[in-house]
Every structure is written in C-alpha cells, then in structure tokens.
Structure 1
Amino acid sequence: MAGRLGILAGSGNLPAQVAESCRRDGRDLFIIALEGQAVASELPEGVPTAWYRMGAAGAILDRLKAEGVRDIVMAGRVRRPSLAELRPDWRAAQVLARASARALGDDGLLGAVSKVLEQEGFHVVGADELAGDLLTPVGVLTRALPDEQAEADIARGIAAARDLGRLDIGQAVVVQQGIVLGVEAIEGTDALISRCAGLKRSGAGPVLVKVRKPQQDRRFDLPAIGPDTVTACAAAGFAGIAAEAGGTLFLGRESALTAADAAGLFVAGVNCPIPEAE
C-alpha cells in the first residue's frame, strides 16, 4: 500500500489534478502550499493543507515528517523569488549553497531540492507517475490540422527549444514561417505568447512549441499546456500549439480542446526523441 503523499504546491491546475487522480486511487494526501505561489482557490477541497513560505525549509521538512509523508511530488508553477523574498532559514541556505552556480537555472535548483528531500528519507516522484493520463498523447487532437508551413515551423521549433533547454533557460519557443519570434525565459509561456503577438507577420500564424529540456528530470518541471495556453494563443492570432507527446503535461484537456476547436486552433502531440548523444 502506497504511503501518504505530500504535494509541494505552486500555482495552476496541476496540484488539484494530481490530487484528484490520487484520491481516485484511495491514496492519503497532505499539501504544503507555498506562500506567494499557490492560490487557495486552485487547491483541492477536503485535503489537509498547511501554508509555508518557500524559505522555511526546516519547518516544511519537520511538518512533512510529522504528517507521516513518505512520497513527495512537486506540482504547480513556482515563480523564482528574490533572495529578499525567500528569507531562507538555515536548511534553505544549505540547499542554495549545494546548488551553487547551478542555481542560475531551474534544473540546478530543483535538483538540489530533490537531493535534500531524499537525504531526509523522502521519495521524490513525478506528477506523470501519479497521473499518467495528464501526458499529451501523440497526434493532432483538434479538428484543425497543421498545414505544410505549420509542420515546418514545428520542426524548427523543436530544434530551437532543444537548444534553449540545453542551456537550462526555458521550454517553449514561438515560430512563424521559419522565423523564431521568441523564446521562453523567466517570464513564462503566457508572457512569451503575449510578447510574440506584437511581433507576428502577415500570413500563416505562429506556432507555439513546448518540449522537455534534453537533461530534464521527469520528476519535476515538465512543460505543460492547458486552457490558459489555448486562450492566450487564440487571442494572439496563433495557428496552433505543438507539445511533446509523452513529455508534456496537458492540463484541463477537455476544456482546452473545446476552446481550441471554437477558435480554429490546432493542438498536436509530437514525437521528438532526444538523441542519445545528448
């Protein structure tokens, strides 16, 4: 029997969707909601929840142990705080010191966090391990289909996103007619889409492409799309969205696809294996 699962929750739909899947399986849950990150209205009802600031690592670890948590999943968007906002206690300071220069990128910081959790006796799992139905399936999922230009833009976007991810910068790019209009950095995907709306050219619309980083640890920070992504792309005049099949989370899939069909936007799950040399 699986032990109690702890969810370290940021913002967005992922914490609630992971919780829903686990509760269907009869699993006991406990949520650590990160202050300034998680949103109360987005969290699942009826699940014991405690709120802590991100820098209170010692208190968080003690509470997880007191609650009998064995497995931990990191779920939801987390905006990187400044050091002043973080106000790290001594345990959080240890994490930052362990990450050292690697903390300049998300992978280094998250890797350091997971190592500390494992040293404390927890088992860190990925959201896709708990709710595999959230992964984007392969194929076109909408009535609208990518045309020849869109297919070429998707291929270009995959290559560009792989290079971007290799540098641990972001997971998404926007391509139009073979031109990379923008790449994702700290601002996130929605801001990338909004920025590229003012850069698009006449003719066939841009395509948003999201893929894993080549060095991605699947246990945290998998790229994700959802209804908000579709709404933003439709408002910006995009032609469609391509997400890595089996490597991208598709949250709120039913409502997202309904919105995409209404807007005439295509959504496709694409295979983009990582070359062994990487």
Structure 2
Amino acid sequence: MSRTAVIAGQGALAPAVIAALDAPLVYSLDGFAPEGVDAQPFRLERLVPFLDSLLDQDVSRVVFAGAIRRPRLDPDLFDARTAQLVPRIMMAMQSGDDGALRAVLDVFQEHGLAIASVAEVASDLIPGEGVLAGEPSAADRRDAERAALILAAMGPLDIGQGAVVAQGQCLAIETLPGTAAMLDFAACHAALRPNPNGAKGVFVKAPKPGQDMRIDLPTLGPDTVTQAAAAGLAGIAWQAGGVILLDRDHAIRSAESAGLFLWAMPPS
C-alpha cells in the first residue's frame, strides 16, 4: 500500500495539510519543525539516505507544506551519495529560492517519489474566484489590478509574492522579511497616499509567473487579516486558484469584523 509523506515547514499550513490526509508520515528539515507537529527530523546533508528510507516505507508521494529557509550545511555530515549532489544544488541556489526548490524536487522525483501539490491533497485550502467578505470598490479593484501587474513584473527577479497599492501608488512590496514586515512598512507610510480621504489601499498576493505550483504557494490567514486591518487597508485580494487561505471561516469573520474585503481575483 502506497503512503504519503509530508515535509512540514514552519507556520500553520503543515498542520492543515496533515489533517487533510489519512495517516501521513511527517518529517521536517532539522531546525524547521512547526509548533505542535510531531515530525521526524532529517538533514539535507543526508538527503539520499532519507529518500531511501521513504521508499523503504512504501512512500510514493511527498507534499511540501510550510516555510523552510535555507539551512546551514555542515560539510562533515555529508554522506558520499548526497555529496555528489552538492555542486548541482549549489548552482541552482545561485538562481534564487525557486531554482533551489526545483533542484530539490528533481532529486525527489529521480528517486521515484511524486510531488503532490496542496491543491491535490487539500483543495479546500485554495479558494476559487469570488468575493468572500465585504465588497471591493471600483477604486479598490483598480489598485488590486495595479498590484497584480507589479507582482507579475517582479516575478522573474524572485523577490516576493505580495504588494500594497493605494490610489495607484505602490506603498510596499514583500521581500525576505515577509508579509508582516511589509504590512508594518505600509502602515508607517500610509500618509504617502495622494488623497488622505481616497482609497485606503489593497494588499495583493499572487504566485510568481511560471512558479512551480506544487510548492511554496503564497499563504494568507486570519493573522494576515489582522495585520492588513492594522495597516489601515481596505482589503486583501489574491489570485484565485493560486493562493492558500488558512482557517477560512475565521479569516472571513475577522475581515467582516474589521470592515475589510477578501477577494479571490480572476487570474490575469
């Protein structure tokens, strides 16, 4: 009987994915286990023996769920077979996080392990097109479309998956510090909006153009709603079918309470 393994990263996504599966095996990169998840650690320096162990346990597919940052590698811990992969992975890392992730996925697949997306195993986490809370105004929709264009232009540079636009002006873009830091920045610079009484601004999330949709999808949740409200924004929009929404009911209630809209935009 084939089994599914979850590579659990930090944040709330891994527990949600684990709950959607039937008794998966759960692992985490050493030092990156999510809170409250019983995950067996493994090290990248011993990747090939780890993959062998998955096959020995009849694992046929793997789901990546949660945030993982590049670990510090200890040269003394590499086994001979994994060491042969180092030049290939290091070269991929030079092209950014996407390149590094693709290289790791290739290694998993070369060992006979299929990579399953969150959409395949927990489709309810990825909303389809539509407004889930509130109602974006015409100005909000224009700002959302502007932010989506900015994200599409940034995609090849592998910078981030989020942007804040108010009255056609970009107040902030998401970079390595993450969504919370970006929304804090937008809050600090809200006075830069051309018209203080005009549109408040929209936070937009979208996957990068050409992104491998099996891993590293952008993620939103109730905390994001709280942060967007604190930044004084009108709402949150995202690319329908390409963004994970955690704890949907809670997020919708929070948005309605704060007077924010939630909008899954049609892909551009």
TM-score relative to the length of structure 2:
0.89
> What is the 5 A alignment of 1:151-166?
151-166=141-156
2:173 paired residue among 183, 189, 195: 183
| Distance (Å, rounded) in 2 between the aligned partners of 1:79 and 1:59 | 21
Quick check: 1:220 aligned with 2:215? yes
CA contact (8 A) 1:124 1:219 kept: yes
Equivalent AA in structure 1 for residue 117 of structure 2? G
Equivalent AA in structure 1 for residue 208 of structure 2? K
| Distance (Å, rounded) in 1 between the aligned partners of 2:159 and 2:101 | 14
Q: What corresponds to 2:54 in structure 1?
A: 64
Q: What corresponds to 1:112 in structure 2?
A: 103
| Percentage of identical aligned residues | 38
CA contact (8 A) 2:45 2:73 kept: no
Q: What corresponds to 2:115 in structure 1?
A: 124
> What is the 5 A alignment of 1:12-31?
12-23=11-22, 28-31=23-26
Equivalent AA in structure 1 for residue 70 of structure 2? R
SS at match of 1:237: coil
Considering only aligned residues, what root-mean-square deviation do their CA atoms show, in Å? 2.1
Which moves more between the two structures, 216-225 or 108-117? 216-225
Equivalent AA in structure 2 for residue 15 of structure 1? A
CA contact (8 A) 2:44 2:73 kept: no
TM-score relative to the length of structure 1:
0.86
| Distance (Å, rounded) in 2 between the aligned partners of 1:87 and 1:262 | 54
Going from structure 1 to structure 2, the CA distance change for 1:251 and 1:102 (only over 3 Å counts) comes to: same
| Alpha-carbon offset, residue 271 of structure 1 | 0.7
Q: What corresponds to 1:133 in structure 2?
A: 124
Q: What corresponds to 1:269 in structure 2?
A: 264
CA contact (8 A) 1:190 1:229 kept: yes
| Distance (Å, rounded) in 1 between the aligned partners of 2:208 and 2:183 | 19
> What is the 5 A alignment of 1:219-238?
219-238=214-233
Equivalent AA in structure 2 for residue 212 of structure 1? P
Quick check: 1:89 aligned with 2:88? no
Going from structure 1 to structure 2, the CA distance change for 1:129 and 1:97 (only over 3 Å counts) comes to: same
| Distance (Å, rounded) in 2 between the aligned partners of 1:171 and 1:88 | 34
What are the Cα deviations for residues 172-220 of structure 1, in whole angstroms up to 9, with x where unaligned?
Answer: 1111111111111211212211222111133332211111111111111
Q: What corresponds to 1:247 in structure 2?
A: 242
| Distance (Å, rounded) in 2 between the aligned partners of 1:185 and 1:193 | 11
Equivalent AA in structure 2 for residue 18 of structure 1? V
| Alpha-carbon offset, residue 93 of structure 1 | 5.1
SS at match of 1:16: helix
Equivalent AA in structure 2 for residue 253 of structure 1? R
CA contact (8 A) 1:57 1:88 kept: no
Q: Which runs of 5+ in 2 are unaligned?
A: none
Q: What corresponds to 2:3 in structure 1?
A: 4
| Alpha-carbon offset, residue 35 of structure 1 | 2.8
What are the Cα deviations for residues 256-275 of structure 1, in whole angstroms up to 9, with x where unaligned?
Answer: 111111111111000123xx
| Distance (Å, rounded) in 1 between the aligned partners of 2:77 and 2:160 | 25
2:29 paired residue among 28, 34, 48: 34
| Alpha-carbon offset, residue 22 of structure 1 | 1.7
Equivalent AA in structure 2 for residue 190 of structure 1? A
| Distance (Å, rounded) in 2 between the aligned partners of 1:93 and 1:205 | 52
